[in-house]
């Protein structure tokens, strides 16, 4: 196949066979070490040692076997991150069954779809909120067993309900160890549903070898071990948290600690940071930005976050704004970045601690993995981390995995001396009416990467004369700016129509336009939307990716007004800022 190749520089080496056998070896090696910490009902963090941790996995696995769960069965979990969910999933994988994690914030329609598509017959449910939603789905009569972490509210009666703790009372380890011994490296262990930015979620089927090859690669590249501590909020239904971070901690013998604010409560996160003192922190840029903003405003928070034991942080999902990255650099904390997809378990490339961070550069392939950038610039990946396929979708599997073992990612990129550079998703590429191609991601990243006030941007212009953007502010930084200008930190009412605010964003866009060589790639108009994008409105996926089609659909009125299309509401002109950047056809 024609294209440009990029191979890993280091060999992978021998990969452990299955998750169950890996856990057994770690428990034997680290018996008395703390593997997991969680804040309990008394308000204190409580640690779980490897010897007890593995005993609980074995008990849950034995109990599920006694209830008829067998190798190859799909078993769901619908819960926020917690000890019970962790033990449940590891027990399922260890006995050869297949875990199906479902985002705990999904409402009945999404939950119903995944349960029906996966054909799960047994499920673990987190709180009463999740149980109520589950019992309102159309699929729920097909469930044989429903295990609950917390007691259901009074009035909720169902013969299928059992407390999770019942699964901890199985002293017979023989069936469990026999089941573990019967699992093979290529057996599936996880069906992880993608976030669905471009359509219905796809069930990505991953094998033990996919996940463990990744961990062996990280062992080759990183020095992570029993002395390290993770403070984790990334949800385990998603590959970044559930595969990359969680299994890095488990395989290395580090301690995995849960942030009980789930990354949404900044004050709680910083309080937990003070108590846990993480040596490593994995996050999406939005949370890093919040931490840096707080550190700038509060010297006590700054000291807590940038404590002496913090070794490095890792970011993914979107570019980290330069001012945020620079702050970590000032503190002497390396910022590592990677790229990958759920279908690649998820990591494909990593940057190294000693390289300068460059926007859109995501590093070199990890050991065992090779990349091909095809002639049309689509990135193809081959290696032991590539999925088995999409569950019950032979056609999409055939389209994604070719006869030579290459996975077609749908991302566009190029190979540079520093490594792989990401351009955009295939569906994020559009043409202006003069035929010029535009990468929406490049336009958006140019606006957000170095701006303290633009949290997210969505570029538009397909078939039109010029590029425009919808801008979503960083409300925390904007509130601080508002306070400095005598408006008491308020950002409500007609705040976004104030000339000073419009001029602030005009300057932000114009400064970034100035760095773009081709005039047709400069933003010619924008509108400030007076809020941040949210998961609740369907504008973000659970992994914090922007759902472009949803944002464009919600704001089609303002887009029509920007381009003054037939039937647009002239009153919306007040919310549009137009810039003079030359004709769209100029370069």
Q: Per-residue confidence at 197, pLDDT binned at 50, 70, 90?
A: low
CATH 3.30.300.30, domain 432-578, yes or no: yes
Mean pLDDT confidence for 259-286 = 95
> For residue 586, what pLDDT is reported?
36
pLDDT at 321: 79
Rounded to whole angstroms, the Cα distance separating 149 from 406 reads: 41
- Binned at pLDDT 50, 70 and 90, residue 534 comes out as confident
Q: What is the pLDDT of residues 354-384, one digit of tens each?
A: 888 887 899 999 999 999 999 999 999 999 9
Cross-strand partners of 400: none
3-state SS class at 449: coil
* Cβ–Cβ under 8 Å, residues 540 and 534: yes
DSSP 505-566: HHHHHHHHHTT-SSGGGSEEEEEE-SS---TTTTSB-TT--B-HHHHHHHTHHHHHHHTT-T
CA distances (Å), 310 to each of 27, 108, 231, 306, 314, in order?
26, 40, 11, 7, 12
Q: Above pLDDT 90, what percent of the chain? A: 75
Mean pLDDT value of segment 95-100: 98
Q: CA angle, corner 289, sides to 328 and 428, nearest 5?
A: 110
Q: Which residue has the higher pLDDT, 110 or 542?
A: 110
Contacts by residues 438-441 (CB-CB < 8 Å, ≥ 24 positions apart): 438/467, 438/520, 438/521, 439/412, 440/548
What is the C-alpha to C-alpha distance for residues 339 and 348, in angstroms, rounded to an integer? 6
Burial profile 310-328: b = 16 or more Cβ within 10 angstroms, e = fewer: bbbbbbbbbbbbbbbbebb
Mean pLDDT estimate for the chain: 92
Q: Is the pLDDT of residue 517 over 90?
A: no
What is the model's pLDDT at position 583?
40
Could you give the C-alpha distances from 366 to 5, 22, 185, 333, in angstroms and in order?
Answer: 14, 21, 20, 22
Cα–Cα distance, 472 to 261 (Å, whole number):
24
Asked if residue 345 lies in contact with residue 385, where contact means CB atoms within 8 angstroms, the answer is: yes
pLDDT higher than 80, residue 418 = yes
Quick one: pLDDT at residue 540? 79
Tokens coding 95: 């006995």
Strand partners, 380: 372, 408
CB 380 within 8 A of CB 370: no
Alpha-carbon distance of 490 to 12, in angstroms, equals 54
The full DSSP string for 277-333 is --SEEEE-HHHHHHHHHHHHH-HHHHHHHT-TT--EEEE-SSPPPHHHHHHHHHTT-
Q: Which of 296-305, 423-432, 509-518 has the lowest mean pLDDT?
A: 423-432
CA distance 290 to 294: 6
Helices (H), 352-498: 394-400, 440-448, 475-484
Per-residue confidence band for 587, with pLDDT thresholds at 50, 70 and 90 = very low
Provide the pLDDT for residue 198. Answer: 55
Which carries the bigger pLDDT value, residue 343 or residue 541? 343
Provide mean pLDDT across the span 163-175.
90
As a whole number, mean pLDDT of residues 85-107 equals 97
- Quote the pLDDT of residue 319: 72
Between residues 195 and 38, which one has the greater pLDDT? 38
Produce one character per residue of 54-83: b if its CB has 16 or more CB atoms within 10 Å, e if not: bbbbbbbbbbbbeeebeeebbbbbbbbbbb
Q: For residue range 375-408, what is the model confidence (pLDDT) as tens digits?
A: 999 999 999 999 999 999 999 999 999 999 999 9
Neighbours of 468 (CB within 10 A): 24
β-pairing, 34-39 vs 255-258, is parallel
DSSP string over 334-366: -EEEEEE-GGGSSEEEE--TTSPP-TTEEEEEP
- pLDDT of residue 435 exceeding 50: yes
Could you count the other beta carbons within 10 Å of the beta carbon of residue 173?
14
Is the predicted pLDDT of residue 120 greater than 50, yes or no? yes
- CA-CA distance, 413 to 254, in Å (whole number)? 34
The token pair that represents 128 in the structure block = 């009463």
pLDDT at res. 424: 84
Q: Which of 93-102, 243-252, 487-496, 513-522 has the least mean pLDDT?
A: 487-496
In this structure, what are the phi and psi dihedrals at residue 396, rounded to the nearest 5 degrees? -70, -30
Confidence of residue 466 (pLDDT cuts 50, 70, 90): very high
pLDDT at 214 over 80: yes
Burial class (CB in 10 A: 0-12, 13-18, 19+), 159: exposed
Provide the CA 413 distance to its chain's centre, in angstroms.
20
């Amino acid at each position: 196949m024609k294209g440009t190749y990029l191979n890993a520089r280091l060999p992978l080496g021998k990969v452990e066979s299955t998750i169950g056998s890996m856990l057994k070896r770690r428990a034997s090696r680290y018996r008395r070490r703390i593997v997991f910490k969680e804040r309990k009902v008394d308000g204190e963090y409580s640690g779980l040692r490897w010897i007890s941790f593995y005993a609980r996995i074995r008990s849950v696995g034995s109990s599920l076997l006694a209830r008829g769960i067998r190798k190859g069965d799909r078993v769901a979990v619908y819960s926020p991150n917690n000890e019970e969910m962790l033990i449940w999933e590891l027990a399922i994988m260890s006995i050869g069954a297949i875990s199906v994690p479902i985002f705990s914030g999904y409402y009945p329609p999404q939950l119903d779809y995944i349960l029906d598509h996966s054909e799960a017959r047994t499920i673990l449910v987190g709180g009463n909120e999740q149980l109520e939603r589950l019992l309102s789905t159309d699929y729920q009569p097909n469930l044989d067993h429903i295990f609950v972490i917390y007691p259901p509210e009074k009035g909720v009666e169902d013969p299928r309900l059992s407390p999770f703790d019942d699964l901890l009372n199985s002293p017979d380890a023989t069936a469990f160890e026999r089941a573990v011994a019967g699992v093979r490296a290529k057996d599936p262990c996880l069906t992880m549903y993608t976030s669905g930015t471009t359509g219905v979620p796809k069930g990505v089927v991953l094998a033990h070898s996919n996940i463990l090859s990744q961990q062996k690669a990280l062992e080759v590249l990183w020095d992570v071990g029993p002395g390290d501590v993770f403070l984790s909020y990334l949800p385990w239904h998603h590959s970044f948290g559930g595969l990359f971070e969680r299994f890095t901690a488990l395989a290395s013998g580090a301690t995995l600690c849960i942030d009980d604010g789930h990354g949404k409560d900044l004050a709680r996160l910083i309080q937990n940071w003070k108590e846990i003192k993480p040596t490593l922190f994995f996050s999406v840029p939005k949370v890093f930005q919040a931490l840096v903003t707080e550190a700038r405003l509060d010297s006590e928070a700054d000291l807590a976050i940038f404590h002496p034991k913090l070794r490095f942080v890792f970011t993914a999902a979107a570019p980290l704004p330069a001012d945020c990255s620079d702050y970590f650099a000032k503190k002497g904390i390396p910022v590592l970045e990677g790229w990958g997809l759920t279908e690649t378990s998820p990591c494909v490339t990593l940057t190294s601690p000693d390289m300068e961070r460059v926007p859109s550069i995501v590093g070199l392939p990890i050991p065992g993995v090779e990349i091909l950038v095809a002639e049309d610039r689509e990135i193809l990946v081959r290696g032991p981390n590539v999925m088995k396929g999409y569950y019950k979708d032979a056609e999409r599997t055939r389209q994604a995995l070719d006869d030579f073992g290459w996975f077609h990612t749908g991302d566009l990129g190029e190979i540079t001396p520093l490594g792989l550079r990401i351009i955009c998703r295939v569906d994020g590429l559009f043409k202006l009416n003069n035929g010029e191609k535009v990468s929406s991601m490049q336009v958006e990243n140019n606006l957000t990467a170095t701006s303290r006030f633009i949290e997210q941007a969505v570029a538009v212009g397909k078939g039109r004369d010029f590029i425009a953007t919808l801008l979503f502010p960083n409300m925390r930084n904007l509130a601080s700016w508002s306070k400095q200008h005598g408006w008491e930190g308020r950002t409500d009412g007609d705040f976004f129509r104030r000339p000073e605010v419009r001029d602030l964003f005009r300057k932000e866009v114009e400064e970034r336009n100035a760095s773009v060589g081709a005039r047709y790639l400069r933003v010619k108009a924008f509108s400030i939307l007076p809020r941040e994008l949210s998961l609740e409105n369907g504008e973000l996926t659970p992994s914090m990716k922007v759902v472009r089609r949803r944002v464009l659909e919600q704001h089609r009125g303002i887009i029509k007004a920007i381009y003054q299309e037939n039937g647009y509401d002239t009153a919306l002109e007040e919310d549009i800022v137009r810039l003079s950047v030359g004709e769209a056809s100029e370069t």
